[in-house]
Structure 1
Amino acid sequence: MDSIFPLDDTQALLQSSLQRWLQDNAPFERRAALLATPGAIQPLWTGLAQQLGLLGAALPEALGGQGGSLADHLVILQALGQSLLAEPYSACLVTGAGLLQRLPGEAAQRLLAGVADGAVRPVLAALEPGARHDLDQVASRLQADGRLSGRKALVRGAPQATHWLVSARDAAGMLRLALVRPGAAGVTQRDVRLADGSWAAELAFDRTPTDALPDVGNVLPLLQQVADEALLATGAEAVGVMQRLLRDTLDYVRQRKQFGVAIASFQVTQHRLADMHMALLQARALVAATLAAMDQPAADRSRAVATCQVQVARSARTVGQGAVQLHGGMGMTEELAIGHGFQRLTLIEHHQGGLAVHLQRVAHWQMAQAAQPALT
């Protein structure tokens, strides 16, 4: 598997060991069983934690992690994408644990200490019905006594989570975080299976008791930062999925014959494969370039991530549709990985608002840059 960016020795070892482990423990033939219920993925999650130690790849060594960074998440998600494994890694580790790492206090540290061994799976519940992709449109209320009321829209990974980090407004209207345990009083949870086979949940809270988290003021900047990191991580996963689809399609067209020759020899097939390959290279290059921009100021980081997602969405459509069309009708059957990869790429294409929303984010940044000289 071609990596998104040059790997150091530790990352190369991580990638190769994960690929071998996934081939043995999560082959495509087991995919349906691993996604049959929200809890079916648990043995695999335990294996990632205890056999490979991957859940602590980006956590500090003091908390049982390996002291890695966002780059390590991208390496892992690229491999998970290639295996078409729809597990809650990004929701729990990139977003949930990433948010906890930015919170001070012992409560957050205790939770992080349980992330590396798989005992704690934190998931952020931020978006609400009607708010679409806007993290600031929050009507949920956190009362002075710590009781939470409100609703959250489809929360990826929520059915597998041990803790929910829920955004809500306090009495002063400031955006805060509340820690809720699944099964707490006043919680209504409706599990939903998404088109790619993964699980999410709609959540409702009615004076639900919450655990204390440190007051860091308005958490919107933190939410936006972890949302950008999750979007980039999803781009890395998409690269892995596209690599899998292109590989399987190449194998198929070399074997499938018409008029006595392999269809790989047809010029129209070669043109389509070339388009798919170029789309994959473009997405991979943008993900790598965006990783280098993640330490920039918030506006520049957001623009870079939105630009990356625009390319990832376009590439996902080119590769996904090309793989299905070159396979014909059998490309959408349950027996082949092509249809499953196409479904995952379709959801990634619309992640956090879809192509139009991300183009709008880029346009707003460009307008702000154009107006800046006039203000000085």
Structure 2
Amino acid sequence: MSAQKTPVFFLGATGYLGGSVLARLLEHPAASSYEITALVRSQEKAKKLEPFGVKTAIGTIQDLDLLEKLASEAHIVFSIINADDDPHIQAILRGLKKRHATGDLPILIHTSGTGVFLSHANGLHGDAVVFDDNKPEQFEALPHEALHRSVDELVIAADKEGYAKTYIILPSTIFGTPSNALTKAGIQNTHSIQLPFLIKASIGRGQGGVVGKGAAKWNYVSNADTAELFVAVFNGVTTPNNTVPHGREGLFIGENGVFAWSEVGNAIAKALYEAGKGKSPEATTFTSEELTKYFGSEFVGNLIAGSNCIGLATRSKALGWTPKNTKEDLIASVKVEVDAILKEQASQ
């Protein structure tokens, strides 16, 4: 008689990051001991996932009753989806509380982002407080209104209440084009959000751009390395003698160094210039009007590519996580992303 499989509920299976994490779980040495149910938007995606042995539920994060039900049936929940939507996390936590009432202590692995501690600089400087994932008191001093913070607070409160063990992963600027079984099957989105936003704005104005002087700085981490961080946390929390910090201390930053936005802006400018779509191989400053036109507002443009956001993955690396992709890989990925977006736009 085969052992009962551990139920896993997965949100974000078709996304840029979630798809990479799911692909790694499906090839995990212990994959056969888990039964994964993924939330997907369409029957088409559901059918594509079936050959991988993944059960599916059709719905969105607005289907709160469904989320609560599926979470109540899972020992482990991966939330790799909207990091700023309180209602869907509240529904998941209600489900986990029901799961706990059955005698289980469920696990939530939630995705936030280093944007929670960004500081505004309008692209003029790179000075920022460095946040260390081994110092929870730094995060506790953040205002409730900070990006992602209200959701993070709900997740941490659930752990404190004792009905779930929670772990929060905070990727920085993610780059790289994923390539795995799910991308080959046409299931997974292959574009991130932050860098393509800047690339599309630069294409729109016909020139690579930066906010202010391009002096603001962020951390970077590749898509593949971020997926490995999820696996490192997963491996730690599923061992019988799980000693991975959780709750207020269960914070894991994904970063492998720092870049200035001028470095990315110049890489975009060079790629556009080489493709005959840019006036100069060196980035120029977005005007106020351009920020409003391409980012929706000056505020959003400054947020995406003019803010500082620097952290240290101390706790992540203590798990044995060793990110491999470097700043050189980040810069090289920009041309690949630019060429892919130009090709997509040309075919529309």
Give the TM interval when normalised to the shorter protein: 0.3 to 0.5
Name the structure with the higher helix share: 1
User: Which protein shows a greater Rg?
Assistant: 1
TM-score normalised to the size of structure 2?
0.37
TM-score normalised to the size of structure 1?
0.35
